[in-house]
A and B are shown apart, each in its own frame.
Chain A
């Protein structure tokens, strides 16, 4: 077990969660290079403090998300000038035209996401892009289920307005 200092087991945890954490970070900052950098930092920090997480979080992934969130927020706060929007770089041999359309669509979505208040953005990413359940989101964000449902509604409503070019 990693918590016992087993490096190999931590390597397995890394392989299990690396994509999840990377996506969570990437969807927030929309910069692959920075997202990879932050992802690595998240795992370094998690190793350093893995002994302290025992019993403090509902799940290991919730704990990782919280580290990732802190790290990402800090990066966003310090990033000046603004991080430029980046095209998603899909893996595979897809049709270039289709991919260009997808990329354009993602740009629009990413811009809308970026303009959401931080808790709303965090919830949208966890719920719809990461596929997390409400109880896990609650554990990550430190909120009760009722608060998560209310926040979810506000976030979707706000996102809809942003996507249609309106304001909150």
Chain B
């Protein structure tokens, strides 16, 4: 049987490359001459293109800079920026104009700070907030990356990239967010509100890892898609992470909802909640697998007297505001409201200080439980009982120390009033605010139906016996720095039947020791203080089961 033309062409190209002439090749396949000749002619044309090389100056400079950067662990983004500045001097003037225009925009534009909201619904605009590190953006009609600080508004088509230590969050017009880990580059390819009925958002992810939290609004299911070099990930009401490595390989983890994955060959796979998928080339060999249970989890719960959020050491936050706005920027985290209160889970928390913000919505005790769960066992628990007036906002700083992604010690290092500066960077979009039900409004209406409106007023007894078995722990008096200013609204602590005013205590580091058999309950001790600060009660427990976590706990 005669060879296919593709095979014959390949043979001829090999001969051409080895030095044969085109005529030599054609003579070998006379009956295919008509087909081969134009193809070989095009190939010969390409073989004749002159070879080029990098200039010696570039090779040397780039080589030295690359190696120096590696040795000094310099950030590649900075190295690239230096080169752009050096080479693209032609864009200096336009860039300066862009900076000036941006400054003018900032001067005349209210409402783009995290504490406020954009005045109008602009589906084709999105907010970019820098959480930490270096972040740059590239406008759709620009070739020059610009460093970003704080929160800015960008148009669809803009690209964003984070440096090695950079964290950022994109907030879309419906409140959906994409949190960007270090080394990530994305382009917002589309953001629209089709017929004011359906959210349509498409994010192109070239590299790095994004954590996507889809909100949606309108009468139709939102279309939220992440396009990677190998596949398109279409969310169905979802929280999921997408990771793209330098080869374009894509990793997907679904924490909530379902994600449909479509590859370039239009193969389709559905990835359900708690499943993950790795795509090397196509979906042909890709099979969703169950995500292994988290070995290390930080868990917070708060009774219905308030709402809380937590900000991680990188500046990302997850939780609720009193106006009902929810946000989820911390990878692999979840937050939920129910009639029992609020809970937040963060899988595999990183080392560093987590800032928990607690906001009172009714003047009742707020009971905040902070737990570390390892391999389904609660290895650390702190219960804080706060009696607060409405509107009291407090932050609790918890320092976690990890080794090999497992928390070795946890330490409540300080308390402080929010005092106007919220730790969370949350852009409140108009549509999200319209949709949200203020928690304070529903909190006084018992037995409200929906989850978002599920906060009901409950009475918390401070005399409830501790439901957890507590290990022996000790506390030491706080340092002066841990005591918040006295000007803030006071919180009165109720310890058993006696109301006392106590200084805030700093709980010493608690080594994580799973499955202790110690069952002694030891009250937290507090030191007297000359000032009259708000007070907080803490209990520390090391228990053997996770199921003990939810009961409000106070210490007489």
Contact = CB atoms under 8 A, between A and B. Distances in A.
A78 B246 contact: no
22 contacts: A14-B63, A14-B66, A15-B63, A33-B88, A37-B83, A37-B87, A40-B66, A40-B79, A44-B76, A46-B246, A49-B245, A49-B246, A66-B246, A67-B247, A79-B143, A80-B140, A106-B49, A109-B45, A134-B10, A142-B281, A153-B5, A160-B39
B50 A106 contact: yes
Contacts of B159: 78
Contacts of B49: 27, 106, 109, 128-129
Interface in A121-168: 124, 127-129, 131, 134, 142, 146, 149-150, 152-153, 156-157, 159-160, 163
Contacts of A54: none
Given A15-B63, A48-B183, A70 B207 contact: yes
B2 to A, nearest CB: 15
Interface stretch (B54-62, B99-107, B500-508): B54-62
Contact of A45 (B62, B69, B71, B76): B76
Given A11-B67, A89-B52, A78 B79 contact: no
B59 to A, nearest CB: 6
Given A70-B248, A90-B52, A44 B66 contact: yes
Nearest to B244: A70
Contacts of A77: 187
B80 interface: yes
A100 interface: no
A30 B88 CA distance: 16
B71 A19 contact: no
Contacts, number: 158
A1 interface: no
Contacts of A63: 247
Given A33-B88, A48-B76, A157-B38, A88 B50 contact: yes
Given A78-B138, A128-B43, A128-B49, 4 more contacts: A36-B62, A44-B76, A152-B9, A160-B42
Contacts of A28: none
A79 to B, nearest CB: 6
B187 A78 contact: yes
B46 A129 contact: yes
Contacts of B69: 44
A33 B80 CA distance: 13
A74 B185 contact: yes
Interface string B159-187: 10000100000000000000000010101
B70 interface: yes
A2 B51 CA distance: 28
Nearest to A140: B247
A59 to B, nearest CB: 13
A40 B70 contact: no
Interface in A12-35: 14-15, 18-19, 22-23, 26-27, 33
Nearest to B140: A80
Nearest to A94: B50
Contacts of B248: 66, 70
A46 B246 CA distance: 8
A19 B67 contact: no
A56 B279 CA distance: 12
A109 B46 contact: yes
A52 interface: yes
A19 B54 contact: yes
A-B pairs, top 10 by smallest CB distance, nearest first, are: A128-B46, A44-B76, A160-B42, A149-B6, A142-B281, A156-B39, A22-B54, A49-B246, A156-B42, A159-B42
A41 B66 CA distance: 9
B10 A149 contact: yes
A71 to B, nearest CB: 8
A60 interface: no
B290 interface: no
A100 to B, nearest CB: 12
B66 A149 contact: no
B119 interface: no
B67 A7 contact: yes
Contact of A11 (B45, B63, B206, B282): B63
B3 to A, nearest CB: 11
Nearest to B79: A44
B230 to A, nearest CB: 8
Contacts of A8: 67
Contacts of A150: 6
A36 B46 contact: no
Nearest to B164: A48
A46 B71 CA distance: 15
B141 interface: yes
B416 to A, nearest CB: 37
A146 B50 CA distance: 29
A7 B66 CA distance: 10
Nearest to A142: B281
Contacts of B185: 74
Contact of B247 (A47, A48, A66, A79): A66
B467 interface: no
Contacts of B498: none
A160 B55 CA distance: 31
A159 B42 CA distance: 7
Contacts of A14: 62-63, 66-67
A19 B187 CA distance: 29
A152 B10 contact: yes
A26 B55 CA distance: 13
Contacts of A46: 246
Contact of B246 (A70, A106, A153): A70
Interface in A69-114: 70, 74, 77-80, 88-91, 102, 106, 109
Contacts of B55: 36
Nearest to A44: B76
Nearest to B48: A105
